[in-house]
C-alpha cells in the first residue's frame, strides 16, 4: 500500500519512549496510518500496542500496514479521551502512551473531507465522518461575531473579523459548501500584502474550523488526565504538538502534574501529601532537526514533550481520578 503520511520526530520518539519493562504495553492514542506504531513494533519485539483512532477509514489503512505484526497490535475505533475514560480496570496498565496531535497528510490529500483549501471538496473536516456537525454547518449558520471569535481564538488569525464579515456576506447569496469556495472568499477578504505571506491566507481559518468541528482543544485536557490515570507507575507518556494552542495545554498540564502540591488554591491545608505525580524527562521540548524539516516540511512546527509517572499513594491517585 502507498503510505501518504510521514511520521514526525520518529527517531526521537523511539529514543524517549523506549520500553523499560518486560512485555511492555503501549497505547498509540492517535494511530493514523500507523507509522509510529510500526516503528515501535519493529524496534522492540516484545512490545504490544493498542492503536486508537477516531477515523474508521484511516484505521483500515493502519490495519493493512500493521498486519505483519499480527496479534501484537489491537485496534480500537474511537476517540482517545473516551478510550482512556472507559479503560477496563482488568486490563494491564500501559507502560507507554503516545499522542501525535497532528492531522495526517492522508486527511489533507485523500480523505475528500475538505481539510485542504486547495481542493474542491465538501466542507466537512470531521475526523470521524459519522459523528458531529461538519464545518459547513458552522460556516453557514454561526453569526458574524461568534464566527470571528472562533477564527481568532482557534486560528490566532489577526484578520478574523474581516474574514467573518466576508463569509457572512458571501453566504447571504448562496450557501458555502466546498473548501475551495471558502478559501477563495478568505483570500479576497484579507489585504494584498497578507496574500503574499509565507502561508496561504486561509490556513489559520481552516485550522480554527477543524479544531472546532472535532472539539480538539476541549478533548485535550480530559484526554491527558485520563491517560495519566491509567498509565502504569514508572511508565512514560509523550505528546507531539503542532501549534501553540495545544502545546500550551500540554506544557501547563505536565508542569502542574510535576508540582509538589496539586490542591486547589482555595484549599486551606494540603491534602494531596505534596508529592509530584510526574517527572519531566525533557527540560525543553524536542524539535525536528533541520534535515527532517527539509525532508518533511510539515514537521517544522512539531514539539515533543515526555514525562514519567511517579509512584503514588492510593489517596492521591483517587483525588486525581475524582477531578476528571
* pLDDT at 293 exceeding the cut of 70: yes
- Pick 110-214's CATH classification: 2.40.50.140, 1.10.150.170, 3.20.20.150, 3.40.50.2000: 1.10.150.170
Tell me the mean pLDDT in the region 124-139.
Answer: 94
In sequence order, the β-bridge partners of residue 96 are 26, 236
Q: What are phi and psi of 294, to 5 degrees?
A: -65, -40
207-to-79, 89, 114, 171 alpha-carbon distances in Å: 19, 36, 11, 20
The whole-angstrom separation of Cα 292 and Cα 272 is 43
Q: What is the pLDDT, as a whole number, of residue 256?
A: 93
Reported as a single tens digit per residue, the pLDDT across 30-79 is 999 999 999 999 999 999 999 999 999 999 999 999 999 999 999 999 99
Which pLDDT band holds residue 255 (cuts at 50, 70, 90)?
very high
The residue ranges of every structural domain in the chain are 10-100+217-323, 110-214
Round the CA-based radius of gyration of the chain to a whole number and report it.
21
Task: Pull the grid cell for residue 274.
Answer: 505534596
Lowest mean pLDDT among 134-138, 247-251, 295-299, 317-321: 317-321
Lowest mean pLDDT among 97-111, 139-153, 247-261, 308-322: 308-322
pTM of the entire predicted model: 0.90
- Pick 10-100+217-323's CATH classification: 3.40.50.150, 3.90.550.40, 3.30.70.100, 1.10.630.10: 3.40.50.150
Q: What is the pLDDT, as a whole number, of residue 324?
A: 42
Sort residue 179 into left (φ over 0), alpha (ψ -120 to 50) or beta: alpha
Q: Is the C-alpha dihedral spanning 248, 253, 254, 255 positive or negative?
A: positive
Reported as a single tens digit per residue, the pLDDT across 187-224 is 999 999 999 888 899 999 999 999 999 999 999 999 99
Task: Pull the grid cell for residue 83.
Answer: 478510550
Tell me the mean pLDDT in the region 300-317.
Answer: 84
Amino acid at each position: 500500500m502507498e503510505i501518504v503520511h510521514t511520521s514526525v520526530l520518529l527517531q526521537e520518539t523511539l529514543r524517549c519512549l523506549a520500553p523499560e519493562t518486560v512485555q511492555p504495553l503501549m497505547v498509540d492514542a492517535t494511530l493514523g496510518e500507523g507509522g509510529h506504531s510500526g516503528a515501535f513494533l519493529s524496534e522492540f519485539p516484545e512490545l504490544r500496542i493498542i492503536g486508537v483512532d477516531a477515523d474508521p477509514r484511516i484505521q483500515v489503512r493502519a490495519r493493512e500496514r500493521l498486519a505483519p505484526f499480527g496479534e501484537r497490535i489491537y485496534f480500537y475505533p474511537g476517540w482517545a479521551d473516551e478510550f482512556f475514560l472507559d479503560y477496563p480496570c482488568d486490563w494491564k496498565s500501559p507502560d507507554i502512551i503516545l499522542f501525535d496531535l497532528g492531522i495526517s497528510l492522508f486527511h489533507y490529500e485523500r480523505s475528500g473531507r475538505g481539510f485542504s483549501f486547495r481542493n474542491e471538496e465538501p466542507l466537512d473536516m470531521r475526523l470521524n465522518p459519522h459523528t458531529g456537525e461538519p464545518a459547513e454547518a458552522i460556516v453557514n449558520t454561526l453569526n458574524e461575531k461568534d464566527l470571528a471569535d472562533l477564527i481568532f481564538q482557534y486560528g490566532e488569525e489577526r484578520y478574523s473579523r474581516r474574514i467573518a464579515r466576508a463569509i457572512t456576506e458571501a453566504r447571504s447569496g448562496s450557501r458555502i459548501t466546498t473548501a475551495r469556495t471558502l478559501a477563495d472568499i478568505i483570500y479576497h477578504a484579507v489585504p494584498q500584502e497578507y496574500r503574499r505571506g509565507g502561508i496561504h491566507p486561509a490556513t489559520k481559518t481552516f485550522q480554527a474550523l477543524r479544531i472546532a468541528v472535532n472539539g480538539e482543544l476541549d478533548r485535550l485536557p480530559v484526554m491527558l488526565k485520563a491517560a495519566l490515570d491509567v498509565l502504569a507507575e514508572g511508565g512514560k507518556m509523550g505528546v507531539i504538538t503542532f501549534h501553540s494552542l495545544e502545546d500550551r495545554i500540554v506544557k501547563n498540564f505536565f508542569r502542574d502534574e510535576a508540582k509538589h502540591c496539586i490542591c486547589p488554591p482555595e484549599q486551606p491545608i494540603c491534602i494531596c501529601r505534596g508529592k509530584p505525580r510526574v517527572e519531566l524527562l525533557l527540560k525543553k521540548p524536542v524539535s525536528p532537526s533541520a534535515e527532517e524539516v527539509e525532508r518533511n516540511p510539515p514537521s517544522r512546527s512539531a514539539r515533543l514533550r515526555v514525562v514519567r509517572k511517579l509512584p503514588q499513594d492510593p489517596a492521591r491517585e483517587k483525588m486525581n481520578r475524582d477531578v476528571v
